[in-house]
Amino acid sequence: MSSSALRISLRELCECEQVSRQWLVTIVEHDIVSPVSVAGEVDDWIFETRSVQWVKRAIRLHKDLELDWVAVALILELQQQREQLLLENRCLQQRLQRFLVED
């Protein structure tokens, strides 16, 4: 990841998503998102801004469907894998199209 990636502090993320510090700690403990650096105190954690979308999804699944955090983590991991596979599939289809056009 480039060093110019946008970042957000734990406090800012809590304020943005209107959740407690403990909820974000729980989300990190379940590997739903990871801080860029875990050195120092929890209050010093910094996240990449792309983590915000996963925090939003986690909170929504937990609140709306009343899922426990283990289930939330599993669902989001499957969603991330699906997104990655769709991206890879798109890239491979583009490569294939180049070969088909050349023939």
The two tokens of residue 33 are 């998102």
The H-or-E segment that residue 42 falls in is: none
What's the confidence (pLDDT) of residue 61?
Answer: 96
pTM for the model stands at 0.79
What letter does residue 44 receive in the DSSP assignment?
Answer: G
Q: 51-73 pLDDT, tens per residue?
A: 899 999 999 999 999 999 999 99
Strand partners, 13: none
